[in-house]
Amino acid sequence: MELLYGPIKDYAWGSRCAIAELQGRPVPSEGPEAELWLGAHPGAPASVDRDGGRVALTEVLAADPAGWLGRRVVDRFGARLPFLLKVLAAAAPLSLQAHPDAEQARAGYAADDARCDGHRNYVDPFHKPELLVALGPMEALCGFRDPAVSAEVLAGLGVPELGPVLDALDAGAAGLAEAVRLLLTWPTADRAGLVAAVRKASVRRAAVAGPDAELVELLAEAYPADPGVVVALLLNRVRLAPGEAIWMPAGNLHAYLRGTGVEVMAASDNVLRGGLTRKRVDVAELLRVLRFEVLDQPVVAPRPVADGVVTWPVPVTDFALHRVTVGQQPEVTLTVPGPWLVLCTSGQVDVVDMVAPVTLGTGQAAVGSAAGGSLTVSGAGEVYVASPGHC
């Protein structure tokens, strides 16, 4: 194992407290800190110490892919680390977004290569399923809720312009695609009026609408002419307690609202946005990849696998995530195969593999190669361990 140093993305929605506090730096930070990237994604690779300086993990892996990744990973994913670990810290809502499946990503990347206008939806040919585990209270929108519930909420607003959307929702899950299409393609000249009418109606009904009225106000304050404010009312609003997770497979429409979590994903940066953002939006492509299915239970509870160890099972082979807690349990051995990315989120721990030990304090990270065999964690604290899934 060796220390890993991750870059921080300064997106505008980021917190000025969460990542700085985790790493023991002064609060508030000089600017927003949205995501701490720990991995070998070419868009923002982490680095390790080499010969008195720091070298990008991408370069280290490229010099010896089989040694670092192991033959099993190279055969399945090629000479690249197939997963990326992040700390996500949202002080404001993120965009309405979804990610493509593997086939869509390959085709979309190839199609973008052939475009002449310079615009890209796909920055790599890989899919990007995600798992986010809350470090503290966290809120998100995740997947479509029962259309009957959404129809009742929208009908209660008494906004006549929403009539066609209500008609679509009356068809149940079969009408979700049309409802979302109508809203995201709302005539540009009429968008501010729609959001203003919905906002006014939700304030009037705040005592009845409760969380839905609060959601409209939160989003409309930042995006007063974005019909994504209304699309948000079609989604599950999820409140995560620490340790609870949400799973976002391909085609799942979602948006983080606020809070801090550990996020693990396939190593891709393909994001298709439909609203609530000032970044590139491609509604047609988003609608093409969305899965218009009702998600009854978006929250994933941790599953114990050993004393001091929990995981959140996911149906992909790109990654697995475990949380290891030591203190009452003085030492824990994790037998999942490497390579590993390890993040300490509290306390101080020693992490030992068959190559070299490393000591991590809160907010520090480490990387270990597939040659490391197994991991042993001791001390008093908590770490998250990302590794390949079962190939």
As annotated, the active-site residues are 273
Which residue type, as a one-letter code, is found at position 387?
A: S
Q: Is the CB of residue 265 less than 8 Å from the CB of residue 130?
A: yes
At 332, give phi and psi (nearest 5°): -130, 130
Closest CA to 23 of 346, 361, 363, 347: 363
- CA 26 vs CA 3, 11, 22, 135, 187: distances in Å: 22, 19, 10, 20, 46
User: Which strand (E) or helix (H) includes residue 255?
Assistant: strand 254-266
Residue with tokens 């065999």: 373
Contact 175, 169 (CB under 8 A): yes
**What residue type is 213 in one-letter code?**
A
Could you identify the residue written with the tokens 């085609």?
Answer: 251
Task: Please give the radius of gyration of the chain, using alpha carbons only, rounded to the nearest integer.
Answer: 22
d(CA 336, CA 386): 10
The amino acid occupying position 259 is G
Cβ-proximal residues to 41 (8 Å cutoff; 6+ apart), any chain: 84, 267, 268, 269
Amino acid residing at 244: E
